[in-house]
Structure 1
Amino acid sequence: MLRTDHPRDLDVLIIYTDPQHVTDLYAAHLWEVSLPLLDFIAMTPDEEDDYRFIQVTNAALLHSQPSSPAQHPSSQNCKTS
């Protein structure tokens, strides 16, 4: 279940093109020491297009990188509740 009136964690979508960035993020164990608890969801731009995760969950933008022509339009860090 992605949506609830009483969330116990914060889902953070990471859209990536370099798998090493996701590996490094998980290696940092950030979700183990954060409050609220973080649940990282990593997708490639194509996966996000297929699942429409941002649209379906009504995700809120937390931070985005400066745009570049090669960057996917939804390459943003978003949260859902």
Structure 2
Amino acid sequence: MAQYFFDLRSGEIFSSDQDGIELPDAGEAHAMALSALIDAARDAVMEGTVNQHFSVEVRDGPDPVLEVAAVFHSKIFRTQ
């Protein structure tokens, strides 16, 4: 088991994971990062955002392991 840290970047906002979580391998870390990205993007898309950049950067201590990133565009033209 290794300790993985999941840092979230949303546009200019960066949130560093100070606690991390123990996972068996990088494959599990990738699945967790993808899930976190989807959750973060879901909130922004529901609000209606244009070209919102998201990434989850995974590291095991100081070293990067992987990154999952996406750009979302959502526009609400009218509510009814």
What range describes the TM-score normalised by the shorter chain of this pair? Answer: under 0.3
Q: TM-score, normalised by structure 1?
A: 0.25
User: Counting strand residues as a fraction of each chain, which structure ranks higher?
Assistant: 2
Question: Higher relative contact order at CA 8 Å, sep ≥6: structure 1 or structure 2?
Answer: 1
Rg larger for: 2
